[in-house]
């Protein structure tokens, strides 16, 4: 299973981006719970989930910076 592409994250709307961030955080929590109870079957899912979360947070931060810069440019 290949790692997700950041271009997919950039195509999401702001609302979808926030929802996706929450979903990935929930998934990481579930994976940690499975690991603690020794029910985790696919440990590579940690890497994929952390990678996806980093991508989503990066896109969110890029959008925040762009919005603040455009607000400064308007003044």
pLDDT tens per residue, range 13-60: 999 999 999 999 999 999 999 999 999 999 999 999 999 999 999 999
pLDDT for position 44:
93
Neighbouring C-beta atoms of residue 32, cutoff 10 Å: 12
Give the model's pLDDT for residue 18: 96
At 1 the pLDDT is 65
d(CA 12, CA 3): 17
Average pLDDT over residues 2-15: 90
Structure tokens at 63: 């959008």
pLDDT at 4 over 90: no
Please say whether the beta carbons of 4 and 55 come within 8 A: yes
The burial class, CB within 10 Å (0-12 / 13-18 / 19+), for 70 is exposed
């Amino acid at each position: 299973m290949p790692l997700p592409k950041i271009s997919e994250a950039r195509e999401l709307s702001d609302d979808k981006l926030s929802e996706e961030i929450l979903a990935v955080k929930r998934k990481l929590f579930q994976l940690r719970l499975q690991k603690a109870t020794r029910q985790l079957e696919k440990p590579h899912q940690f890497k994929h989930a952390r990678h996806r979360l980093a991508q989503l947070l990066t896109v969110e931060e890029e959008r925040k910076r762009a919005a603040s810069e455009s607000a400064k440019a308007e003044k």
